[in-house]
Homo-oligomer: A and B are copies of this chain.
Amino acid sequence: MWNEHVHERRDPSVGRIYPDGMHGAIAEGLRRELGERVSVSCATLEEPEHGLTAEALAATDVLTWWGHAAHDRVADAVVERVHARVLDGMGLLVLHSGHFSKIFKRLMGTTCALRWRSDPGGEREVIWTVNPGHPIAAGVPQPIVIPHQEMYGEYFDIPPPDELVFISSFAGGEVFRSGCCYRRGAGRVMYFSPGDQEFPVYHQPQVQRVIANAVAWCGEGATGNDLPSSRDGSSKRHWYLEGA
C-alpha cells in the first residue's frame, strides 16, 4: 500500500478525517474484508526509494497507489521499477487522484486527464455496477451512494477499459467511468476513482468492500507462464518450437 502521505500531515481538515492516514483507513477495510488472506504493509514518499525497493516489490502481490500533491516528487527510477514489476505479474490498484500519477500514465500511454469540480462540501456521487458478474462487484449494493465527493467527469483520457465495472453519476449531471480494469503483460491494473482526502470516503464500508474485491482480483495476475517479460524486454526473444 503506497501513499504519498502529504495531505494528512499538512492539512488539518484532512488529518481530522484520517488521523492514521488514508492508508490506515484502507488497510483497516482490507483486514476486515480479507482477513488472513492478506498481509498489509505501507510505504510512503518520504522513505528511501519511497519504500519501493526491489526487495519490497518482489515481495508484493498487489500495490495500491494514492497520490495527489507530490506526483512529480516520485523518482523516475522507482516508477520504472514498479512498471516492470506490474508487467511481470504484480497487481496495481490506482485510487482517485492517482489517475495523474507517473505510474498510471506510464501504463496507460495517454494523458489520463479528466474534468473535475471541487466545491466545499462536495456533491453526491452515485456508483452503478454495469458488470454484475465481475468479482470486483461481488456483494456490492446497486448503487453505492457517496454523500459528499469531489466531481470527476468525462472525457477521461484513458484507453478503453478491458473491463468496465462501475460508472458514476454526480449531482451536477456528469458521468465518469469510475471502475476500470486493464491487463498489462502478466499483471492486472484497476483504477477506482471514489476517494478524496477531504471526505471520509475510505471509511465507508461499501467502498472498503470494493477495494478489498479489487485487491483480490488484482492479485490473480501472476501465473509463472513463460512470456517475454519486462526483464528481458531490451532484446527480442530468439525462439524455436522444438522439433518444428
A residues 201-224 touching B (CB-CB < 8 Å): 220-224
Query: How far, in angstroms, from A188 to B133 measured CA to CA in the complex?
Result: 7
Q: Which residue of chain B has the shortest Cβ distance to A222 in the bound complex? A: B133
Q: Is A10 an interface residue (CB 8 A)?
A: no
Report whether over half of chain A's contact residues are helix, strand or loop; otherwise say mixed. Answer: loop
Contact present for B238 and A116 (CB under 8 Å): yes
A223 proximity list for chain B (CB < 8 A): 132-135, 137-139
Query: How far, in angstroms, from A113 to B37 measured CA to CA in the complex?
Result: 34
A187 proximity list for chain B (CB < 8 A): 133
A residues 230-244 touching B (CB-CB < 8 Å): 230, 232-233, 236-241, 244
- Hey, what's the 0/1 contact readout for A110-138 against B, CB within 8 Å counting as 1? 11111111100000101011111111011
**Count of A interface residues, CB-CB < 8 Å:** 81
Picked from B87, B135, B175, the residue with its CB within 8 Å of the CB of A157 is B87
- Of A15-23, A42-50, A59-67, A160-168, the one contacting chain B is A160-168
Q: Is A194 an interface residue (CB 8 A)?
A: no
Contact present for B233 and A126 (CB under 8 Å): no
Contact present for B183 and A133 (CB under 8 Å): yes
A175 proximity list for chain B (CB < 8 A): 126, 128, 130, 167-169, 175
Q: Is A36 an interface residue (CB 8 A)?
A: no
**Nearest CB on B from A186, distance (A):** 4
A174 proximity list for chain B (CB < 8 A): 126, 128, 169, 241
A232 proximity list for chain B (CB < 8 A): 113
Query: How far, in angstroms, from A188 to B163 measured CA to CA in the complex?
Result: 13
Q: Is A55 an interface residue (CB 8 A)?
A: no
Contact present for B184 and A109 (CB under 8 Å): yes
**Nearest CB on B from A174, distance (A):** 7
A51 proximity list for chain B (CB < 8 A): none
A177 proximity list for chain B (CB < 8 A): 130, 167
Given the known A-B contacts A108-B109, A109-B109, A237-B115, are A160 and B132 also in contact in the complex, defined by CB atoms under 8 Å?
no
Q: List 17 A-B contacts (CB under 8 A).
A: A87-B157, A100-B236, A107-B109, A116-B239, A128-B154, A129-B154, A132-B186, A133-B186, A134-B183, A135-B220, A135-B223, A142-B155, A142-B226, A155-B225, A155-B227, A157-B229, A172-B244
Q: Which 4 A-B pairs have the closest CB atoms?
A: A111-B233, A113-B228, A138-B223, A109-B109
